[in-house]
Chains A and B, each alone.
Chain A
Amino acid sequence: MLNRETATFKRSYAEDMALYPLPLQRVTIAVIILVAFVAFPFVASVYMLGLANLIGIAALGAIGLNILVGSTGQISIGHGAFMSVGAYTAAVLSSRYGVPWWGAILGGGSMSALVGTFFGIPSLRIKGLYLAISTLAAQLIIEWVLNHVTWISGGVGAVIYVDKPSVFGLALKSNLAMYYFIYVFLAIGVVFALNILRTHIGRAFIAVRDRDVAAEIIGINIFRTKLTSFAISSFYAGVTGVLYTYYYGMANYEAFNLTISIQFLAMVIIGGLGSVLGSILGAIFITLLPIVLDTVLGSVGRMFMDAAAVASISTSLQLMLFGGLIMFFLVVEPDGLSKLWRNVKDYFRVWPFPYL
């Protein structure tokens, strides 16, 4: 992130393979961790912690989706539904069978990975265009099943209420406790995603994305690679769903509809395809967009409109901004916010001697 990469020499394999090879990088990361886990929670208000929690959960889901879309080049319009699979699995496990939080997280993630892999199977025969449509089908079919199969959803309204998780006997009731709970998982998710892209599995993802025929010729099993990507990505989605369930205290299939799937795609695209940092930036951006918009409209719009008109315009404007930004980034800056960040870095790399 914040560092200059010149004049460093690697003298051992361990140094070469380090996730953050430079001292300054390590310091930056340490500072970020300190701020995230020590400073911020004690400074922030309850409202800000709530926002941070939503951003953390969204970032985890976006990182997962980015492995699939950005790194493997497959598309999923069904990620909201995969999240709901995780959410309902966790809800059923914890409320009906009394499974503790770690069991619910693992169970939700694994079930979602299974379902995601199943709907990824068509990607063997079909590509881009068709895959998008088939994951759209996954979204609609899963929604229908959750809503109509009473064994899963418990009947009318299909909402299952869940107790907050209790870690070491402490129930995580406050936003602050949930903040730590969520950000530990986000940290694990970030480290895993950064590392998986450096292994042979991640390299295979990128090879399949860039040229599938060439990838197959150099001996990558495309079917397995695509399914692995679907499994990892939907595992992330499942955990995201479980975290949403714990955070809201209930599993509700309507919170994971097509709009949510598209919001997560928007995070990935606006943040930057194939970049973990980009996923986080995208999650921050998309989560804060409606709130900033509401605040601005609330103060500016109220001067010449009544509250109801402001509210209805706000929803429309939000959608227009979503759609407009997706198109804008695709046309103007396909690598998203993370590329903008890289541009800033590149500018300061040689600053103040840009002619070097």
Chain B
Amino acid sequence: MYYVELMINGLLVGILYSLIALGFVLIYKASDVINFAQGELVMFAGYVLAASLQLYGFPLALAIVLGFSSMIILGYAIERVVLQHLIGRPAVAVIMATIGLAAFLQGLAPFLWGPETKNLPLPIPEGPVFLGPILFSQIEIYAALLALVCFGLFGLFFTKSRMGLALRAIADDQQVSQAMGINVKLYFALAWGLAGTVAAVGGLVWGNLLGVDVQLALVGLKVFPVVILGGLDSIVGAMVGGLIIGVVESIAAGFIDPLVGGGTKDFTPYILMILVLMIRPYGLFGKEQIERV
């Protein structure tokens, strides 16, 4: 029973990892940029939400509107101001730019709203519920549902809408899409705006679970195992990868933590990731690129 509980808790946390990974995948899919600042985007969204609730005393609905719109603008601005100039430059330069962005956001948020930890209260009843013999925290269930809705919406967006179609075309081949009259640069910015939206959802959920301060950005470190496992450019992969990582780390923590005294959760996903990198670098659902050098 203990392991079933560990597993279900792992799944619930895993779907939230998937949520952060989704933002990462959106950017990678459209513009081939590895975004090391996804965790920082989530943190920044959390800061915007918590600050407008606590410091300025706005109602929740307004805070959410503010949070989402500022994240969309931020994502768009990042692409326009920084990354647009790095198109066609070596991958290392782009990676470094996002690392710089991460440091910048880690400074900017506490600079604007102070370094102390803030609560992000949501109108969801506290306390656990029992489903059968297993204990759940309610907020995690709501969060998981929200994440699932997000995935559903993005799935629809990519398969049904014209913009989604254009994004998929760009992911497939940038030059051909440009030749077919798609404004590639505009869609790069759009992808960052979408990633900002996802980060806002992530900030809402994770900020509520962990409290909002600079440490919140550390959830971004979980993104890499998730996306490597699932495949860098696959939305389904982000979801499945998140679930697997959640379960693996939850069970590993249940087994190993009592033996070594903690910290297993931060560490097992990366072991798993190294294995995946050595055996199947493109992940479970990623596009297989064969390049032998």
Contact = CB atoms under 8 A, between A and B. Distances in A.
A324 B108 CA distance: 10
A319 B92 contact: no
B92 A126 contact: no
A186 B244 CA distance: 47
Interface stretch (A19-27, A90-98, A130-138, A164-172): A130-138
B164 interface: no
Contacts of B224: 133, 136-137
A133 B227 CA distance: 10
Contacts of B106: 319, 323
A73 interface: yes
Contacts of B89: 330, 334
Interface stretch (B95-103, B120-128, B154-162): B95-103
A334 to B, nearest CB: 7
A54 interface: no
Interface residues of B, number: 45
A75 interface: yes
B82 interface: yes
B135 interface: no
Q: Is the interface of A mostly helix, strand, loop or mixed?
A: helix
A123 B201 CA distance: 35
A324 B100 contact: yes
B104 A316 contact: no
A122 B277 contact: yes
B94 to A, nearest CB: 8
Contact of B111 (A137, A222, A317, A327): A317
B180 to A, nearest CB: 26
A129 B98 CA distance: 12
B104 A126 contact: no
Interface in A299-327: 312-313, 315-327
Interface in B252-273: 260-261, 263, 266-267, 270-271, 273
Contact of B277 (A126, A318, A322): A126
Nearest to A213: B293
A77 B36 CA distance: 11
A324 B99 contact: no
Given A126-B277, A130-B228, A144-B267, A312 B110 contact: yes
Contacts of B274: 122, 134, 137, 141
Given A148-B263, A320-B107, A330 B100 contact: yes
A132 B224 CA distance: 10
Given A129-B95, A130-B281, A140-B266, A326 B103 contact: yes
A316 B107 contact: yes
Nearest to A128: B91
A316 B108 contact: yes
B93 A313 contact: no
A245 interface: no
A76 to B, nearest CB: 10
Contacts of A330: 82, 86, 89, 93, 96-97, 100
B104 A327 contact: yes
A266 interface: yes
Nearest to A326: B100
Contacts of A212: 293
Interface in B38-53: none
21 contacts: A122-B278, A128-B91, A128-B92, A134-B277, A137-B270, A137-B273, A144-B263, A144-B267, A212-B293, A216-B293, A312-B114, A315-B107, A316-B107, A316-B111, A319-B106, A321-B107, A322-B107, A324-B100, A326-B97, A327-B101, A331-B82
Given A148-B263, A312-B110, 18 more contacts: A73-B90, A129-B91, A132-B34, A132-B36, A133-B34, A134-B273, A136-B224, A265-B96, A266-B100, A316-B111, A316-B115, A319-B104, A319-B106, A319-B107, A321-B107, A322-B103, A322-B107, A327-B101
Q: Which 10 pairs, one residue from A and one from B, show the smallest C-beta to C-beta distance? A: A323-B104, A326-B100, A319-B107, A128-B91, A323-B103, A320-B107, A316-B111, A137-B270, A316-B107, A327-B100
